[in-house]
Amino acid sequence: MTSPWPTGAPSDTATVDYLRVHRDTPRGPRRSHLFKQYPGSVRIPLPWPAPHAGQSDEPLALIGSLASAYAPTRLQFYTTAAMATLGGFPPTNASPTVRGGVRRAVPSGGAYYPAELYLAVTGGVAPGPGVYHYDATHHTLETLATDDPQASLRAALGRAPTPYTLLVSCRMWKNASTYGAFGYRLACLDTGALAGQLLHRAPDGTELRLTFDDEAFAALLGLDPDIESVYAVVLAGPSPAVPAAPAPHAPGRTPDASAPAPHADAPAAAPPQRWSAPRTIAVQGVESDLELRATAHPTAVRLHHASLRSGAVDRARDVPTPDASRRSPERGGPTTVRRPRRPAASGREIDLPEPLVLPEPLVPARADAALRSAVRFTSGAMTVRQLGTLLAWLLTGYRCDVAGTLAGSARLAVYCLPHRVTGLAPGHYAYDPATHSLRPAATDAAGDGDASTPIGALGGLRPATARLYLFAELDTGLRMYGDRWYRMQNVLAGIAIQRCRLASTAMGLACRPISDYDPGGLRGMFGVPRGQADVVQLLVGPAAPRAGVVDIGLSGQGDGRGA
């Protein structure tokens, strides 16, 4: 079996040290997690339900649409009967296994949701220049500063900012109580999933940035980079419907009373407060992060610190390649641009059909409420065109500063294990995004997929119609970007996860990201070359009813989808 360690990277890099041990670190009992809030800040309610960007004349329509992508969409919990169905426990089991909580439209390991969303506004657009934190529980912006952050953003990004700059941060240790060192990897994936949701909702011309000055953003937001740091930046211009904002609200003055009210579950806005620097505004909800940081695994801490040190890269080499996957005007999906094809190796290369044009999105609140990670799959089949559409959506359809993303590679390698795909024989395949084709993988072993079969309470996922695997290309990336590359790869994989879920839902299928597999077995099953490391497994196919799962839509979002 080939070794996953990159040949061109020093053996003592933080990434390599982390990958050696991160799956084997002890895991502890689950700890409660809290939403981050700034209770003393001036609060700006956002429209609810949020209209889709460009479909409303409300001044805050674009911001409300983007921010609601991370709002809680439903309350969900497992009943004792559900645990019996999913895990084989006795139906009368009285042990405290039943748990639940609020769910959002993006997946998260253990439903910890370690990503936070901030907004920096420049120029004369609503709600006025300043820096804001999104309070997801109340669908409200919390004002952290009212100065124009344009100079700070330009210094951090190395370029002029857009009127709206969305800063996606990661609370690295929020899930460490459950996942140990492995939680850092999950937190990066979760952060990418939120970035993918924002990119899907944002207007054309939006760009993802993964290379920037971390210290500048920490100072702008008043963050302690040892427990929370910006991992992705989404540059979005205002929609044509967003008018210029009135004069910025002065310190100590609440926003205009005519601003739309939050949803029915939100409390009244906080009383007027004088603005103070971000570092001196009281914050709630990070107490457990501070405690967990003190016990975090050294390899995860070292990797995070190394990714911060390697943030000041030579931006001249981040020039995007020619766009090989234009945004579809319907859903921002991929429209493949045909390139001269390489000769098929021994005639075995399989050209995939053109990706499907997916239907118009629903009203955002309903669309978000419809997103589910499958709990069980049926034995149904899917078509090769549906599979090809999912593969195309994984890596394309958005702009990014990392070389290769516009060409569809994103330096993530994709492998595929179809089981019941009409028009495609079962087997081990590698996906080529440049030619939108599959090549039989040079497998080292003829395994039947046992290495990727979920176990335990996730056994209901075994009948998945197809399985997709994302591997990080480490060799070139570590040489160019240092240890930051591993974090960037996981963020890009998180975007791929969310895009796969969006496309699956639009086609009436389901998707489930999962890390419950044998990495070494996968390497042999696909003959993965040296220099690639596994990132995530995606199970796709028709979903079975969610027996015993109580799923209730929250106020203002229409009917929830039950079990």
Q: Does 562 score more than 80 pLDDT?
A: no
Q: Does 538 score more than 90 pLDDT?
A: yes
Question: pLDDT: is 499 or 205 the higher one?
Answer: 499
Among 46-60, 247-261, 336-350, whose mean pLDDT is lowest? 247-261
Highest mean pLDDT among 253-257, 272-276, 474-478: 474-478
Instruction: Tell me which H or E stretch contains 185.
Output: helix 182-201
Read off the pLDDT of each residue in 103-131 and give the average, rounded to a whole number: 91
Residues 6+ apart with CB under 8 A from 238: 62, 125, 163, 164
Among 100-114, 184-198, 217-231, 341-355, whose mean pLDDT is lowest? 341-355
Question: pLDDT: is 316 or 460 the higher one?
Answer: 460
Asked if residue 120 lies in contact with residue 220, where contact means CB atoms within 8 angstroms, the answer is yes
Among 20-34, 220-234, 503-517, whose mean pLDDT is lowest? 20-34
- Per-residue model confidence (pLDDT) at position 311: 59
pLDDT digits (tens, 9 = 90+) for 483-528: 999 999 999 999 999 999 999 988 989 999 988 788 888 888 888 8
- Per-residue model confidence (pLDDT) at position 54: 53
pLDDT digits (tens, 9 = 90+) for 546-560: 766 777 777 544 433
Edge-to-edge strand list for the sheet holding 72-78: 100-104, 72-78, 549-553
Q: Residue 330 — pLDDT band, cuts 50, 70, 90?
A: very low
Highest mean pLDDT among 11-25, 148-162, 444-458: 148-162
**Tokens at 554, concatenated:** 């929250």
In angstroms, rounded to a whole number, what is the distance separating the alpha carbons of residues 231 and 503?
A: 25
Q: Residue 181 — pLDDT band, cuts 50, 70, 90?
A: very high
In angstroms, rounded to a whole number, what is the distance separating the alpha carbons of residues 491 and 198?
A: 13
- Per-residue model confidence (pLDDT) at position 245: 45
Q: Residue 325 — pLDDT band, cuts 50, 70, 90?
A: very low
Q: Where are the beta strands (DSSP E) in 365-425?
A: 382-383, 399-400, 412-418, 421-422
Maximum C-alpha span of the chain: 72
Read off the pLDDT of each residue in 388-396 and give the average, rounded to a whole number: 91
Read off the pLDDT of each residue in 216-241 and give the average, rounded to a whole number: 88
pLDDT digits (tens, 9 = 90+) for 352-379: 999 998 876 656 666 676 777 877 888 8
Asked if residue 179 lies in contact with residue 190, where contact means CB atoms within 8 angstroms, the answer is no
Read off the pLDDT of each residue in 341-362 and give the average, rounded to a whole number: 68
Read off the pLDDT of each residue in 145-172 and give the average, rounded to a whole number: 94
Q: Does 174 score more than 80 pLDDT?
A: yes
Asked if residue 181 lies in contact with residue 214, where contact means CB atoms within 8 angstroms, the answer is no
User: pTM of the prediction?
Assistant: 0.83
**Tokens at 6, concatenated:** 């990159």
Q: What is the mean pLDDT of the chain?
A: 77
Asked if residue 509 lies in contact with residue 499, where contact means CB atoms within 8 angstroms, the answer is no
Q: Does 324 score more than 70 pLDDT?
A: no
pLDDT digits (tens, 9 = 90+) for 40-73: 899 999 887 666 555 555 667 788 888 888 988 8
Q: Does 279 score more than 70 pLDDT?
A: no
Asked if residue 243 lies in contact with residue 268, where contact means CB atoms within 8 angstroms, the answer is no
Question: pLDDT: is 381 or 563 the higher one?
Answer: 381
Only one residue has tokens 């809290």, namely 34
Read off the pLDDT of each residue in 303-311 and give the average, rounded to a whole number: 86
Q: Residue 268 — pLDDT band, cuts 50, 70, 90?
A: very low
CA-angle at 533, arms to 482 and 116, nearest 5°: 65
Report the percent of the chain where pLDDT is more than 70: 69
Q: Does 336 score more than 50 pLDDT?
A: no
Asked if residue 204 lies in contact with residue 335, where contact means CB atoms within 8 angstroms, the answer is no
Asked if residue 150 lies in contact with residue 173, where contact means CB atoms within 8 angstroms, the answer is no
Cα dihedral 110/114/115/118 (nearest 10): 140
